[in-house]
């Protein structure tokens, strides 16, 4: 579903990604973790072309993201993305947030858009808040709306960029529950997160990044099993975040 | 003040407001609307990566903001007929009239100020909002029109309204084109009746009342939005 092959990226002379290779198969949940500044957020943003890459190839559902002739809009309309700081549109109500792209990208009618929006708001438990503006919602509620908004495009794959990092601790679980529910439904997911509990429960594979490189890419059981073949750096990282 | 004078003032009120104030408010509204549209376009040009767009816009805005409004009013009024002739390839200057000249001048002048306000407004919208809109498949243009500009406009409403209040005061300068705005009307009556002190005082009180009320409205608007 997602193929990242030999991807490198520079900011000027500074190399942020170095020869990254990874795949996410259909229906798979892959968690990407690593210390801050390791390039994981940059990597996930290359998948839908929000960050351009200078070298390598990225394909989503068979479509090249990196080619010059690529219709990025097509890739993006099939790729849901959830951001660390929610990024709901502050001037639109919850319902309007969910309908905007359905109407203007998928060209759905108002009725169809609203019907789909309400289905998804019910799914994330926020149908009663449909007429509120984002500022009137808690962080956890905003992030659940943001997930519903991404789902409103009926994407084939969902990208999560540290979806719980900006949340107060008591709101983390309501968001993780929605994500877990989504994973159980078979959604293909790439998740950048520090939530190792979520990784342990939901992920199929865990990828560990540091210094712009993918250092490890293994099955969840291997990653948390802590086998001798595991790298020193990821074990160190894991011991720090699990015990804090 | 002799009672006869008070009577004169009351008798002049319909003229002052129906002719003078109507013109002042119409000019303010037209110049604000056109200036905001042009200013927003200028802001987009200034923020554009293309030097071909950003450089002329920057020159225009800085130029306009460096000269007195009165100068622009005179310049445009006297030069516009020749510009019109040049555009229409007419051998004689094209008369465009004081009214149109005033509307165009004020719009052009205000657009430079509105541009700077809108530029700040657009810059205040985080990159994340743009990313979120693009990630949903919206085009860059749709993102600007549907996501960034509405929020920039909303954030900048107090600054824009404050600028409109200044514009309203500045419209009294059309007096130099012999046009009858509120102040011009007061001046007419003053010279007709020899009541300069009374009419100028009245004009001052009316301008003060309108602008003071309007700025309080802007202030309360700002706080109400923050409470929300």
CA B223 vs. chain centroid, Å, equals: 24
Q: Which of B128, B137, B228 is closest, CB to CB, to A83?
A: B128
Name the residue in chain A with its Cα closest to that of B147.
A89
Which is nearest to A44 in space by CA: A77, A9, A92, A73? A9
Q: What is the pTM of this model?
A: 0.88
- What percent of chain B stands above pLDDT 70? 95
Mutate which: B132, B148, B157, B227, vs A, most A CBs within 10 A: B132
Which is nearest to B167 in space by CA: B18, B24, B19, B20? B24
Q: Is B225 on the interface with A (CB under 8 A)?
A: no
Q: Is B140 on the interface with A (CB under 8 A)?
A: no
- DSSP-derived 3-state class of residue A1: coil
Q: Is B122 on the interface with A (CB under 8 A)?
A: no
Crossing angle of helices A139-151/A94-104, nearest 10°?
20
User: Which DSSP string corresponds to A43-99?
Assistant: HHHHHTTSS--SEEEEEETTEESSSTT--HHHHHHTEEEE-TT----TTS-HHHHHH
CB A56 within 8 A of CB A6: yes
Round to whole Å and give the CA distance between B223 and B217: 10
Phi-psi map region of B97: left, alpha, beta (phi>0 left; psi -120 to 50 alpha) = left
Q: How far is CA A160 from CA A62, A142, B70, B127, in A?
A: 20, 14, 56, 17
Which is nearest to B64 in space by CA: B107, B112, B26? B112
Mutate which: A75, A103, A104, A107, vs B, most B CBs within 10 A: A104
Q: Which of B126, B135, B154 is closest, CB to CB, to A91?
A: B154
What is the arithmetic mean of pLDDT over B161-178?
Answer: 93
Look at A101 and B147 and tell me if their CB atoms are within 8 Å. Answer: no
Q: Name the least confident of A80-89, A114-123, A212-221, B42-51.
A: A212-221
Q: Which residue has the higher pLDDT, A87 or B194?
A: A87
Round to whole Å and give the CA distance between B163 and B39: 12
Which is nearest to A208 in space by CA: A26, A76, A22? A22
Q: Residue B222 above 80 pLDDT?
A: no
* Per-residue tokens: A69: 């002739």
CB A35 within 8 A of CB A211: no
Beta carbon pairs, A and B, within 8 Å: 65
Q: Is B224 on the interface with A (CB under 8 A)?
A: no
* Per-residue tokens: A171: 């709101």
Q: What is the largest CA-CA distance in chain B?
A: 73
Name the minimum distance, in Å, from the CA of B142 to any CA of chain A. 8
Name the minimum distance, in Å, from the CA of A228 to any CA of chain B. 40
pLDDT digits (tens, 9 = 90+) for A202-221: 999 999 999 999 998 988 88
What is the arithmetic mean of pLDDT over A97-104?
Answer: 96
Q: Which of B126, B128, B138 is closest, CB to CB, to A101?
A: B138
* Per-residue tokens: A239: 């011991």
Beta-carbon neighbour count of residue A240 at 10 Å? 10
pLDDT digits (tens, 9 = 90+) for B133-168: 999 999 999 999 999 999 999 999 999 999 999 999
Q: Is B132 on the interface with A (CB under 8 A)?
A: yes
Round to whole Å and give the CA distance between B12 and B212: 24
* Per-residue tokens: A71: 């219709």
Which residues in chain B (147-206) have CB-CB distances under 8 A to chain A? 147, 150-151, 154
What is the arithmetic mean of pLDDT over B7-16?
Answer: 87
- DSSP-derived 3-state class of residue B127: helix
DSSP state of B175: G
Beta-carbon neighbour count of residue B167 at 10 Å? 22
What is the arithmetic mean of pLDDT over A105-130?
Answer: 96
pLDDT at A225: 77
CB A80 within 8 A of CB B122: no
What's the complex ipTM? Answer: 0.92
Report how many helices (DSSP H) and strands (DSSP E) chain A contains, helices first.
9, 10
Round to whole Å and give the CA distance between A38 and A52: 17
Residues of A in contact with B147 (CB under 8 A): 89
CB B160 within 8 A of CB B188: no
Sign of the alpha-carbon dihedral angle for A77, A81, A87, A93: positive
> In A65-196, where do the E strands start and end?
79-82, 157-161, 188-192
Name the residue in chain B with its Cα closest to that of A133.
B228
pLDDT at A82: 97
Q: Residue A228 above 60 pLDDT?
A: no
Q: Is B52 on the interface with A (CB under 8 A)?
A: no
Name the minimum distance, in Å, from the CA of B102 to any CA of chain A. 35
Q: Which of A50, A77, A105 is closest, CB to CB, to B131?
A: A50
Residues of B in contact with A73 (CB under 8 A): 137-139
pLDDT digits (tens, 9 = 90+) for B32-58: 999 999 999 999 999 999 999 999 999
Q: Which of A45, A76, A89 is closest, CB to CB, to B147?
A: A89
The contacts of residue A179 (CB under 8 Å, 6+ apart) are: A147, A160, A163, A189, A191, A198, A202
CB B168 within 8 A of CB B110: no
Q: Which single residue is written with the structure tokens 């909002």?
A: B129
pLDDT at A128: 96
Mean pLDDT of chain B: 91
- DSSP-derived 3-state class of residue B214: helix
- What percent of chain A stands above pLDDT 90? 78
User: Which DSSP string corresponds to B42-60?
Assistant: HHHHHHSS-HHHHHHHHHH
Question: What count of Cα atoms within 13 Å lies in the side-chain half-sphere of residue A18?
Answer: 11
Crossing angle of helices B182-193/B22-47, nearest 10°?
150
What is the arithmetic mean of pLDDT over B121-136?
Answer: 96
């Amino acid at each position: 579903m997602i193929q990242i092959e030999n991807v490198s990226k520079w900011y000027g002379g500074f190399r942020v990604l170095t020869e990254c290779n990874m795949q996410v198969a259909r229906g798979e949940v892959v968690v990407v973790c690593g210390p801050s500044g390791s390039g994981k957020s940059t990597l996930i943003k290359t998948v839908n072309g929000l960050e351009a890459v200078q070298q390598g190839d990225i394909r989503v559902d068979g479509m090249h993201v990196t080619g010059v002739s690529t219709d990025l809009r097509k890739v993006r309309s099939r790729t849901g993305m959830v951001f660390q700081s929610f990024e709901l549109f502050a001037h639109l109500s919850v319902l309007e947030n969910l309908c905007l792209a359905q109407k203007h990208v998928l060209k759905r009618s108002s009725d169809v858009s609203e019907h789909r929006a309400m289905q998804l708001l019910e799914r994330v438990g926020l149908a009663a808040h449909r007429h509120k503006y984002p500022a009137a919602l808690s962080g956890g509620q905003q992030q659940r709306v943001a997930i519903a908004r991404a789902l409103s495009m009926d994407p084939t794959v969902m990208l999560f960029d540290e979806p719980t990092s900006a949340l107060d601790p008591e709101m983390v679980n309501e968001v993780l529950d929605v994500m877990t529910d989504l994973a159980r439904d078979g959604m293909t997911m790439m998740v950048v997160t520090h939530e190792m509990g979520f990784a342990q429960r939901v992920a199929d594979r865990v990828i560990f990044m540091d210094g712009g490189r993918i250092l490890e890419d293994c099955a969840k059981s291997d990653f948390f099993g802590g086998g001798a073949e595991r790298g020193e750096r990821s074990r160190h990282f894991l011991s720090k975040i699990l015990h804090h | 003040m002799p009672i006869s004078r008070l009577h004169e003032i009351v008798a002049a009120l319909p003229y002052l407001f129906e002719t003078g104030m109507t013109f002042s408010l119409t000019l303010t509204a037209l110049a604000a609307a056109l200036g905001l549209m042009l200013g927003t376009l200028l802001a987009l040009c200034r923020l554009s990566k293309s030097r071909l767009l950003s450089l002329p816009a920057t020159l225009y805005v800085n130029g306009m903001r460096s000269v007195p409004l009165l100068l622009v009013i005179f310049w445009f009024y006297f030069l516009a007929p020749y510009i019109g002739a040049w555009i229409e390839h007419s051998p004689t200057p094209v008369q465009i009239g004081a009214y149109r000249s005033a509307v165009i001048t004020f719009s052009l002048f205000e657009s430079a100020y509105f541009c700077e306000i809108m530029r700040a407004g657009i810059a205040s919208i985080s990159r994340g909002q743009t990313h979120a809109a693009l990630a949903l498949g919206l085009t860059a243009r749709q993102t600007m029109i549907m996501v960034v500009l509405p929020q920039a406009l909303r954030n900048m409403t107090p600054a824009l309204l404050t600028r409109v209040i200044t514009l309203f005061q500045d419209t009294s300068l059309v007096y130099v084109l012999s046009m009858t705005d509120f102040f011009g009307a007061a001046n007419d009556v003053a010279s007709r009746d020899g009541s300069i002190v009374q009419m100028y005082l009245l004009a001052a009180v009316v301008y003060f009342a309108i602008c003071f009320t309007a700025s309080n409205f802007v202030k309360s608007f700002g706080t109400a939005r923050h409470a929300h």
